[in-house]
């Protein structure tokens, strides 16, 4: 873990069209390396837009985005910066090619990332799939026969093929059932621990963010109204909006209830 | 029509051993549950557990999904409807049962104004209908009823559309409201407003409610009794306070352990291996949950557990429920 932040946003502004409304109104945020940082807010607050700017799918209208101290520029593709930031989306049903098995999908990603032939890429693909908890016959099946949780694992394994330093997860567990959501949350915590991965976890679900993240930023109307250590924000929110959001989730700082084993 | 208004005693809705199916492969039930006036039954379950089909069965709209009721009974105020024909169900929905389908955008006609759609389902003279429409809009706390009635659905926000759906469901002055995921597409703060509104209306009218949701937070917040569904069956039924804190079915327990709200921060959650099962025919073999259940033994593969009383007011369909309670 270095002192250079994994993601640094400096007064980032964005509008979709030249004369359109500003959807991000000067975002400054630092995501420390090796942390899971939550980005919370309601629909339309600009969470996903910010996620897309961070992975350089779009360029900000104004301001700067630094990944491990480097700016996005025309060399980003060549110097490996592009690969170091990967994204996991909400809908695991839309994110996979329906004609490629998990193994084929991840093999393709490894082949591109490591400049290997299919045969050479296959071993590492199997390794990655095992790492996310998929092995055996399931990796050869068609995506249509996979559950939402299994699909999301494939998406994560594919993202890991590029050996990213930063993962942006946009509502990655929102479409999943509680029992399956737990599998994916456990997996993300494991990746943080084992690979030292930095994860920006975008979500509207306070309970999940509270559980998973080290730091959290609260976005409202394109502005970050509050950010800091998750525990601090959950226990002593300073901004009125944060309090409303926490109240809506019935989140009161309670001692953890231990369920019988 | 005779209205049975004996106070208290009789539940508004009583479902006994209801079995229904869609096509040859999807079979649900037997399902047993009830809802008394002024109380709320929460139905919680994961994707494909059969929640929406159950809602449709309860309001006589299963045929829209190509399904039929095969056995069991559905009583409204003691009156049997399970095998009622289309006409009787329609009459029931017009007079006594309100239904809020899932997804408010799909429940409204996008090319007609809200007022004109509401007009269709109200009865009486023209002026009386308009008055009633205004009253309904006020009841669901619309600040400007006339503007909402003039609006097309797309001109309204998600929360407003959901309140319009509630107004539609209340148009028949129902004794019972069946709401399928009433707040799922909404932001948490709006979700709270809508739930609060539903509870308030329920109180004013002493209505019985069945609220279906995959979200345990919602169920915890609104329901008095809870039915936990898995694979097309009710696997646990009891008071919300008991079931969601000290359950007696291993599936309910697993759901609670997977819920980040209840876990200590940054700890591993109790994920349930595998994925939820779609509603299938339980009579083919044993317990459908056994493939994900840590307590499963041979008996689970051999016989289907029936819903039975485990504690005073809590029932579970599990051969090993006592072990869950004792743990």
* B280 pLDDT above the threshold of 80: no
CA distance A92 to chain B (A): 14
- Is residue A185 within 8 angstroms of chain B, CB to CB? yes
Question: What is the rounded CA–CA span in Å between residue B47 and residue B49?
Answer: 6
Instruction: Please state the three-class secondary structure of B58-118 as a single string.
Output: HCCCHHHHCEEEEEEEEEECCEECCCCCHHHHHHHHHHCEEEECCCHHHHCCCCCCHHHHH
Q: What is the ipTM metric for this complex?
A: 0.81
The strand pair at B308-311 and B97-100 is best described as unpaired
- CA pseudo-torsion sign B208, B212, B216, B218: negative
**Is residue B113 within 8 Å of B145, Cβ to Cβ?**
no
The strand pair at A85-88 and A166-170 is best described as parallel
For B195, the token pair is: 């739930």
Q: Distance of CA B70 to CAs B14, B74, B92, Å? A: 17, 12, 20
Q: What angle do CA A102, A142, B301 make, to 5 degrees?
A: 105
pLDDT digits 0-9 by tens, B13-59:
999 999 999 888 788 888 999 999 999 999 999 888 889 899 999 99
pLDDT digits 0-9 by tens, B107-164:
788 899 999 999 998 988 999 999 999 999 998 989 999 999 999 999 998 889 989 9
pLDDT digits 0-9 by tens, A54-76:
999 999 999 999 999 999 988 88
- pTM score of the predicted model: 0.86
Count contacts between A and B (CB, < 8 Å): 103
**Is residue B53 within 8 Å of B67, Cβ to Cβ?**
yes
Q: What angle do CA B56, B61, B62 make, to 5 degrees?
A: 70
By C-alpha distance, which of B250, B244, B218, B243 is closest to B317? B250
* Chain B, nearest residue to A134 by Cα: B274
For B269, the token pair is: 């959650």
- Test A179 with B214 for CB contact under 8 angstroms: no
- Test A211 with B266 for CB contact under 8 angstroms: yes
**Is residue B17 within 8 Å of B30, Cβ to Cβ?**
yes
What are the beta bridge partners of residue A168?
A: A87, A200
How would you class B3 by CB atoms within 10 Å of its CB: exposed for 0-12, middle for 13-18, buried for 19 or more?
Answer: exposed
* B7 pLDDT above the threshold of 60: no
Q: Among partner residues B259, B264, B273, which is closest to A178 by beta-carbon distance?
A: B259
CA distance A25 to chain B (A): 22
Q: Which residues of B touch A178 (CB under 8 A)?
A: 46, 214, 216, 255, 258-259
How would you class B298 by CB atoms within 10 Å of its CB: exposed for 0-12, middle for 13-18, buried for 19 or more?
Answer: exposed
Question: What is the rounded CA–CA span in Å between residue A82 and residue B296?
Answer: 48
């Amino acid at each position: 873990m270095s002192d250079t932040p994994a993601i640094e946003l400096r007064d980032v502004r964005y509008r979709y069209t030249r004369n359109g409304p500003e959807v991000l109104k000067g975002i400054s945020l630092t995501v420390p390396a090796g942390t899971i940082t939550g980005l919370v807010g309601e629909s339309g607050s600009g969470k996903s837009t910010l996620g897309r700017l961070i992975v350089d799918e779009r360029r900000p209208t104004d301001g700067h985005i630094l990944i491990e101290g480097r700016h996005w520029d025309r060399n980003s593709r060549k110097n490996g910066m592009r690969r170091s930031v990967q994204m996991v989306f909400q809908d695991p049903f839309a994110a996979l090619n329906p004609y490629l098995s998990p193994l084929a999908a991840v093999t393709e990603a490894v082949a591109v990332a490591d400049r290997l032939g299919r045969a050479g890429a296959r071993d590492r693909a199997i390794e990655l799939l095992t790492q996310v908890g998929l092995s055996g016959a399931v990796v050869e099946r068609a995506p249509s026969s996979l559950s939402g949780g299994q699909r999301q694992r494939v998406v994560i394994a594919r993202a890991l093929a590029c050996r990213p330093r930063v993962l942006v997860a946009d509502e990655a567990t929102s479409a999943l059932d509680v029992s399956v959501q737990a599998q994916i949350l456990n997996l993300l915590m494991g990746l943080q621990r084992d690979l030292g991965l930095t994860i920006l976890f975008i979500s509207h679900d306070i309970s999940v963010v509270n559980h998973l993240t080290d730091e959290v930023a609260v976005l409202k109307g394109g502005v970050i109204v509050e950010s800091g250590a998750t525990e601090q924000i959950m226990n002593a929110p300073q901004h009125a909006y944060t309090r409303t959001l926490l109240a809506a989730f019935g989140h009161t700082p309670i001692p953890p209830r231990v369920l019988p084993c | 029509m005779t209205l049975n208004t004996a106070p208290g005693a009789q539940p508004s809705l009583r479902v006994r051993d209801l079995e229904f199916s869609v096509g040859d492969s999807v079979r649900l039930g037997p399902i047993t549950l009830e809802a008394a006036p002024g109380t709320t039954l929460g139905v919680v379950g994961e994707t494909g557990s059969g929640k929406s089909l159950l809602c449709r069965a309860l309001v006589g709209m299963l045929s829209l999904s190509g399904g039929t009721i095969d056995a069991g009974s559905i009583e409204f105020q003691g009156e049997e409807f399970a095998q009622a024909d289309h006409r009787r169900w329609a009459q029931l929905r017009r007079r006594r049962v309100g239904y809020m389908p899932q997804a408010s955008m799909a429940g409204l006609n996008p090319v007609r104004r809200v007022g004109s759609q509401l007009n269709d389902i109200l009865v009486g003279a023209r002026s009386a209908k308009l008055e009633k429409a205004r009253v309904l809009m006020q009841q669901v706390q619309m600040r400007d009823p006339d503007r909402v009635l003039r609006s097309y659905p797309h001109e309204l926000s998600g929360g407003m559309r959901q309140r319009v759906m509630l107004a539609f469901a209340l148009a028949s002055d129902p004794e019972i409201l069946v709401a399928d995921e009433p707040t799922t597409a909404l932001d948490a703060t709006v979700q709270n407003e809508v739930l609060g509104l539903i509870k308030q209306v329920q109180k004013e009218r002493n209505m019985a409610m069945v609220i279906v949701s995959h979200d345990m937070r919602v169920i915890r917040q609104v329901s008095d009794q809870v039915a936990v569904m898995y694979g097309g069956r009710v696997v646990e039924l009891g008071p919300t306070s008991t079931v969601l804190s000290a359950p007696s079915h291993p599936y309910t327990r697993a759901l609670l352990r997977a819920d980040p709200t209840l876990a200590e921060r940054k700890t591993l959650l109790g994920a349930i291996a595998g994925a939820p099962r779609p509603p299938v025919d339980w009579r083919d073999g044993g317990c459908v949950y056994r493939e994900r259940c840590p307590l499963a033994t041979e008996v689970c593969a051999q016989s289907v557990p029936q819903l039975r009383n485990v504690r005073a007011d809590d029932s579970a369909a599990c051969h090993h429920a006592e072990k869950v309670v004792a743990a």
